[in-house]
Chains A and B, each alone.
Chain A
Amino acid sequence: MAINWFKYSAPTTFYGLAGKLIPWFAISAAVLCIVGLYIGFVVAPADAQQGEFYRIIFIHVPSSILSMFLYLIMAAYAAMGLIFNTRLSSMMASAIAPTGALFAFISLWTGALWGKPMWGAWWVWDARLTSELILLFLYLGFISLHASIDDPRRADRAAALLAIVGSVNVPIIYFSVQWWNTLHQGSTIKFTGTSMHIAMQQAMFTMLVACWLYAITVTLMRVRSIILERERHTKWITELAEVKA
């Protein structure tokens, strides 16, 4: 039997699939979050240099990673929407943007809370911090540009262009600590290995997976709302059980 790979690329079929997947992603996100926080606060030892302060890393690093990855995924969906003219890709891009912005904000905010006791400053204009701030602005720009154009298909195309051009910023964030002198330290997670106590690593990676699952959950929820809103005049929507009720 040949598998139809494109079956779920139509909003009609994806709407139902997303609805079935959401509870699974939501539950596993909640469970992993509890496990991650338990390891992070109870199992993992204090840091030799930073004492207890370093523990904010368990939310800071996952949200920074997510903010960058989500941007690339959003840009990829936006590009797919432009190239193939598929409705669902552009809807996915719009659905990811608020979550990406949230993670970029959390990354900056927890970074400031961490910076004050350790570095002695809430904020410095170093390359890492500034480029992450630009990432937040790109997300906000994507959302507001999309919202400012009435015709959704035209809004998709304009915002897609912004998303694609802005993706140049992501490698700059990642490599900023290597390319320039920054106050922010270098990467702990490297291709050559992670310079971190094993329990700390377990907590951080568990939280990372939890954040991924959370991001997927809310993106699917949001894309379902977008599908309902945009396709509200179609027959299949008016025949949905939850719409009829």
Chain B
Amino acid sequence: MSNAMHNKTLTELKAGLAAGDFSSRELTEHFLARIQQHDSELNSFITVTAEQALSQADAADQAIAAGNTGLLTGLPIAHKDIFCTEGVRTSCGSKMLDSFIAPYTATVVEKMAAEGAVMLGKTNMDEFAMGSSNETSYYGPVKNPWDLERVPGGSSGGAAACLGARLAPGATGTDTGGSIRQPAALNNITGLKPTYGRVSRWGMIAFASSLDQAGPMAQSSEDCALMLQAMAGHDHRDSTSLNEKVDDYLGALNNDIRGLTIGIPEEFFPDTLDGAIADNSRDAIRELEKLGAKVVSVSLPSVKLSVPAYYVIAPAEASSNLSRFDGVRFGHRCDDPKDLEDLYKRSRSEGFGDEVKRRILVGAYALSAGYYDAYYRRAQQVRRLIRDDFARAFEKVDVLMGPTAPETAFKLGAKKDDPVSMYMADVFTIGVNLAGLPALSMPTGFINGLPTGTQIIGNYFREGQILNVAHKYQQATDWHKQAPVFGGEQ
């Protein structure tokens, strides 16, 4: 039975713990053993916190015995290494923070721990979340469990890969331009980026503050609902976290979707799109039609400018956010700085990788005197046009759907020398971040043995509805239950 534990969803594991089928310690040991056994191939974890996990598991078992359980009591979770965890290295995938033992814990981690979650470790990611392939990590690329020669997507690539390979049943991710949804699609898992402001950013190392949002990644929509229930909520430490009531996501999962209106943005099915990718998403939409949803065509004309707008706004914010990594108070400091300028320049140049440096330069350039209006200001104006497009669409529809990513997982190194082509990996996901909307990616079939995903975008704070639609789909299909043949076992 224990062999099958890793194929169970969080919801099933929660039931198993409640029924006494296994203890949290057994469960935790099982996943730690799987990580030990398989992660050398995948490289999905930067740090495994086995000792801490077992002690949390023991505490969870006592809580279960005492009948004093939270939403996630005893369930093993992997946290993206972007969340500060007190006493545990928090690297953000960067050499800059290779020695950074966080002096405090992120709100997301704290809230999940308060609900009884067991932290397995910290997952690999693109450096400072800047990337769509997990190849920019200082700790080396993560491999896609469906094909070890391919990328897992990014930036939450470690989270998606460890879930896909069933090395963890649930993981946190962050999504600035698609960093939860794109890797979710490429690893056949489910991932949700909530509404901007739904989940606290306190303790989550900032990439682009007005776009970053943490969310759940798991095998199913139901599991994402369970995790989001624990993660969401107002935090007085984050000015941008909204003081809106947290919905009952679990309670809404089984709502009837008859009469639901699904909008299909024509821009998400351009002529240039791989036909097989388009077909998988269209099939998923047809499945929902069978369940009673209506489908209408909509247009989001400005969304085609999301990638250029994003690649001004995100680097601009990042260039400023990453200024604090200066070698003075924490993080990497170069050897024997000869003066202050030398300290800054060498520490930063040694500590940051190429992609991070490129984005800092683009951002600093876009904000510099003489270019602000042409780049930054204009990008912020286009951002409003994009948001207005979505707002108009949501006057007519409940959710929008389309492919999550324009292609399946590509070969490691394929786009290494072509940043612009890499940026196009997020062409369907970025608009949602610019507008601040919630969106989920769910598995909707394969192309040549590689997973594809379909995105469901909802209106502000309608996470419950998105999860409901995805759950209905997942009850009717079994794409999300497919796991890779990995390490010689199923």
Q: Do A and B bind each other?
A: no
Residues of chain A at the chain B interface (Cβ within 8 Å): none
